[in-house]
Structure 1
Amino acid sequence: MTQLSNARASFFELIVLIGLGIAVSAPAASAGQNQCAGRASDIIRLAYPGAKNADDAFLFGGATITYNVDGDPRRVICRIWPAQPQLTLVAVPLMTEQSDSENEGDIELLVVDSTNLHVKQRLRLQGLMSDDAIHVESVAFDTARYQLAPGKTAFGLRVTLEGSSRANPFGETTLWLFSVDPDGLKPVLDNIVVSENHGEWDTACAGEFNETTRTLSMGSPAKGVFADIVVAEKTTTSVATVGKDGDCQSEDKTTIGKHRLRYDGAKYIVPKDLKRDE
């Protein structure tokens, strides 16, 4: 058993911070995400002719498109694609309902010319912004080099969800991968959970918490064959109890694992236990 201290940044302490509503740093994948650089309104006008401007948002087809509100997880985000800098990736939340308790909406992915902002590819992802007590905390592009095959690189989209219960904290980040093909923007991997944390505690000390992180790496691509995706998994279970001296103590157990995802000719097959519960 190890005693918790201020110097020890354990998962238990992270859960306490989340449960108390204290902000914690986001994953590195979301750092420096929004590269719209004042061009979001121009992108929207080109992508959605007829959209009506309403302050920091546009109205289009019964949906609200927010583009100029920092920190809003439902705002438009852009990222120049390092693998093909002539292209800019854009995620457009199309919100049809918004309230403090429930939201409904889709995300439309756009691939636009970085110079003239004309749309080259687009794909609408139904219901990706719909939430309730488990709410969308952030949306971010993942532009790590996912080289599927020689000359074919994918980009990722990460959606992070968080729960609002202090006694039963919950957080989850899910990843999708997309390839830009001549005949359209295509999902090649969907709904894999790359990080999750959940637990149950008495809001003072005693409880059990689980944290899982998954890291994706590409195998060596061969001509005419899509590379496998190797998923390295690490899970830590923390059990917190009140010691005889009244101090809160935690015992951690860590397990590691590995999964290999193979391309079936249309997409990578993700085992059910690695996917987000629908």
Structure 2
Amino acid sequence: MKRFSNVRTLFFAPIVLIGLGGPAALAGQNECAGRAADIIRRAYPSATDADDGTLLFEGATITLPKDDNVDGVPHAVICRVWPAQPQLMLIAVPLMIEQSDSENEGDIELLVVDSTNLQIKRLRLDGLMSDDAVRVRSVAFDTARYRFAPGRTAFGLRVSLEGSSRANPFGETTLWLFSIEGDGLKPVLDNIVVGESHGEWDTVCAGEFSETTRTLSMVPSAKAAVADIVVTEKTTTSVNTVGTDNSCNSEDKTTIDKHRLQYDGSGYGVLKDLKRVE
């Protein structure tokens, strides 16, 4: 998967907490449903109609949202008005090159549409919709106030994956952050897993499960004008065993750790252990 690291220098503002994005920050992912066709046709004027109601663009399929509920349709276009700048509409366009029951291949193109002048800024994220045994379950914008400096706020994109094995359950949500710079979009933070769960069990009781959540906060840097990002990691491990009376007993252990991400001149470097599994 292509990585995105061309980020201009950011100037530190007073501390701003960055959460995982509550319901308000993640809600309303299909706010352009009634206008999706017009928006997509403006962004992709050479797209043509397919017989199944999708659009075809340079060998890729674009699926338009049909109503206000996009749950279970990870390959459909999603839209979100950006509360930090309400004149801007955030749009994620899955460009699917191949779709099947066994694997998918595709990219996501991010669009930011300005309602005042209809200008469109865009950034293509290669391979972000490609999957196989572990499938893309959902794509969502995170519009929590990721404020890096006065007048500069980033938005987030979350991609959630889910495995199909009942004996070895797996789920993962990865976050990317982007900001508007000049005429384009630039990545601020590339590929950090903010939620992960996995396990191995006998499908009845005995087994071990682990769940990790990560939250981000901006803190002053001791070495540079650009803020550091502190990642607070909470991991809960559960071990299930069968008791003498055939009851299923669980023993939990929780650990909390912190990681500090520093700006390296082109972006925030993310530790390998915090990144999405390739």
The one-letter amino acid paired with 1:40 is A
1:99 Cα offset (Å): 0.6
Q: Distance in 1 between matches of 2:265 and 2:84?
A: 23
Match of 2:10 in 1: none
1:229 alignment partner, SS class? strand
Match of 2:216 in 1: 216
| Contact kept in structure 2, 1:211 and 1:237, CA below 8 Å | yes
Q: Distance in 2 between matches of 1:30 and 1:151?
A: 22
Question: Number of paired residues?
Answer: 251
2:273 alignment partner, SS class? helix
Residue 85 (1) aligns with residue 86 (2):
yes
| Contact kept in structure 2, 1:149 and 1:225, CA below 8 Å | no
Match of 2:46 in 1: 50
| Contact kept in structure 1, 2:30 and 2:65, CA below 8 Å | no
Match of 1:207 in 2: 207
Match of 1:13 in 2: none
| Contact kept in structure 2, 1:57 and 1:68, CA below 8 Å | no
| Contact kept in structure 2, 1:235 and 1:254, CA below 8 Å | yes
1:128 alignment partner, SS class? coil
Residue 173 (1) aligns with residue 163 (2):
no
1:276 Cα offset (Å): 1.1
Match of 1:39 in 2: 35
Q: Distance in 2 between matches of 1:115 and 1:154?
A: 20
Deviation per CA, 1:187-211, whole angstroms, max 9, x where unpaired?
1111100000001000000000000
1:131 alignment partner, SS class? coil
1:260 Cα offset (Å): 1.6
Match of 2:106 in 1: 105
Q: Distance in 1 between matches of 2:35 and 2:218?
A: 33
1:48 Cα offset (Å): 0.4
The one-letter amino acid paired with 1:38 is G
Match of 1:182 in 2: 182
The one-letter amino acid paired with 1:196 is E
Q: Distance in 1 between matches of 2:139 and 2:230?
A: 24
| Contact kept in structure 2, 1:149 and 1:221, CA below 8 Å | no
Aligned-residue CA RMSD (Å): 1.9
**Structure 1 length as normaliser, TM-score?**
0.85
Q: Distance in 1 between matches of 2:181 and 2:243?
A: 59
Q: Distance in 2 between matches of 1:168 and 1:246?
A: 22
1:263 Cα offset (Å): 1.4
| Contact kept in structure 2, 1:215 and 1:232, CA below 8 Å | yes
Identity %: 75
1:42 alignment partner, SS class? helix
Q: Distance in 1 between matches of 2:275 and 2:100?
A: 27
Match of 2:60 in 1: 63
Match of 2:15 in 1: none
Match of 1:7 in 2: none
The one-letter amino acid paired with 1:193 is V
Question: Using CA pairs below 8 Å that are at least 6 residues apart, which structure has the higher relative contact order?
Answer: 2
Trace 1:132-211 onto structure 2 (pairs within 5 A). 132-211=132-211
2:232 alignment partner, SS class? strand
Q: Distance in 1 between matches of 2:53 and 2:197?
A: 34
Judge which range, 196-205 or 142-151, deviates more: 142-151
**Structure 2 length as normaliser, TM-score?**
0.85
Q: Distance in 2 between matches of 1:40 and 1:88?
A: 11
Q: Distance in 1 between matches of 2:221 and 2:90?
A: 24
Change (3 A) 1:254 1:168: same
The one-letter amino acid paired with 1:58 is L
Q: Distance in 2 between matches of 1:27 and 1:100?
A: 32
Judge which range, 196-205 or 183-192, deviates more: 183-192
Q: Distance in 1 between matches of 2:184 and 2:127?
A: 20
1:27 Cα offset (Å): 7.2
2:80 alignment partner, SS class? strand
Q: Distance in 1 between matches of 2:192 and 2:150?
A: 24
| Contact kept in structure 2, 1:149 and 1:226, CA below 8 Å | no
